[in-house]
Amino acid sequence: MTAEKWFGIVSLFPDMFAPFTQQGVVGRAVKSGLLSVDTFNPRDFTHDRHRTVDDRPYGGGPGMLMMVKPLTDAISAAKQAGGENTRVIYLSPQGKPLDQAGVKHLASHDRTILICGRYEGIDERVIESQVDEEWSIGDYVLSGGELPAMVLMDAVARLVPGVLGHSASAEEDSFADGLLDCPHYTRPEILDGRAVPPVLLSGDHEKIRQWRLMQSLGRTWQRRPELFNHLALTEEQQRLLEQFQTELQQ
Ligand SMILES: CN(C)c1ccccc1CNc1ccc(C(N)=O)cn1
């Protein structure tokens, strides 16, 4: 496991991760050894004839929970594979809302275990004793933690040096500076009677940089003004936002 970054996935549906780790940006990162992903299935840690992985909740009510022993045995196996300072993350609607700052924090750990809950979740005592951080990818309910785990891994992988190569880079991601992205254009120059903004054809790279930054600022102000609460705009950004707002009046 010489990879730059390792993820140990505890999941009842490990096959969900095969396509994700074989294609695109993450697929290339795995192929190039920058990223490695191992899965640990609680069902492989069962010993009964039916390979039971769910259990009934104390206090009754609908639904089941993940059975404790197979789950904690799978977590132990993942911890053993991950070695010392491995962080254990649980994806759940009760977690801290994930944003790019949280992704940067998670990218700072080289070895991370992601526990993917199924059924109605897991025993609270397993969270208390095994989980370091609980994260949510948004305020909605999914059938399992696998998709949130893939979301987290994708966002983290993009921050690993060498994963994005030269075509795009994470620091250029507009969310890197907390802003929404500017509009993008490619061929043809006229599409359904709509032209590409002339500045983008000008070859004046400084003007293009400023136009793109103004657009990011303007769109953030129009669509997600609350994002400015956590931002300290530079002189230039303040000026460009005002220019955007002024041009909107005209
Ligand atoms: C079955 N549920 C509701 C559940 C309950 C507890 C833990 C995990 C799960 C699995 N589902 C998830 C997981 C994460 C998110 C999220 N927003 O990050 C949404 N759903």
The ligand 1 atom at the shortest distance from the C-alpha of residue 91 is: 14
Distance CA 68, CA 122 (A): 8
pLDDT in tens, 126-183: 999 999 999 999 999 999 999 999 999 999 999 999 999 866 666 566 677 899 999 9
Query: How much distance in Å is there from the Cα of 39 to the middle of ligand 1?
Result: 19
- Per DSSP (E only), the strands in 125-187 are 133-136
Name residue 87's beta-bridge partners: 112
- CA 132, chain centre distance (Å): 17
pLDDT of amino acid 121? 98
Distance CA 112, CA 149 (A): 11
Distance CA 13, CA 175 (A): 31
Evaluate the omega torsion of the peptide bond into residue 188 and state whether it is cis, within 30 degrees of 0.
yes
173 as an active site residue: the answer is yes
pLDDT (mean) for 71-95? 97
Pocket probe mutation, ligand 1, options 11, 12, 90, 91, max atoms within 8 Å of Cβ:
91
Pocket probe mutation, ligand 1, options 120, 141, 150, max atoms within 8 Å of Cβ:
141
- Sequence-distant (6+) residues with CB within 8 A of 172 are none
Between vectors from CA 232 to CA 230 and to CA 237, what angle results, nearest 5°? 125
What backbone phi and psi angles, to 5 degrees, belong to 112?
A: -135, 130
- 185 labeled binding residue: no
Q: pLDDT category, 91, cuts 50, 70, 90? A: very high
pLDDT at 40 over 80: yes
Query: How much distance in Å is there from the Cα of 172 to the middle of ligand 1?
Result: 31
Q: Do 214 and 241 meet the contact criterion of CB atoms below 8 Å apart?
A: yes
pLDDT in tens, 176-217: 789 999 999 999 999 999 999 999 999 999 999 999 999 999
Query: How much distance in Å is there from the Cα of 207 to the middle of ligand 1?
Result: 45
DSSP type of residue 84: T
158 as an active site residue: the answer is yes
pLDDT of amino acid 107? 97
- 140 labeled binding residue: yes
pLDDT at 59 over 90: yes
Query: How much distance in Å is there from the Cα of 180 to the middle of ligand 1?
Result: 27
pLDDT of amino acid 20? 98
What backbone phi and psi angles, to 5 degrees, belong to 201?
A: -100, 0
> Which amino acid residue places its CA nearest to atom 20 of ligand 1?
142
- In whole angstroms, how far apart are CA 175 and each of 8, 70, 96, 193, 236? 27, 39, 18, 31, 18
pLDDT of amino acid 4? 85
Q: Enter the ipTM.
A: 0.99
Q: Which two tokens stand for residue 25?
A: 């940006």
Distance CA 106, CA 133 (A): 10
- Mean pLDDT, the chain, integer: 96
189 as an active site residue: the answer is no
- CA dihedral of 131, 133, 137, 139, whole degrees rounded to 10: 90
pLDDT of amino acid 243? 98
- CA 19, chain centre distance (Å): 17
Ligand 1 surroundings by CB, under 6 angstroms: 91-93, 117, 120-121, 136-138, 140-142, 144-145, 148
Which of 32, 37, 35, 120 is CA-nearest to residue 78? 37
pLDDT of amino acid 2? 60
Distance CA 34, CA 162 (A): 8
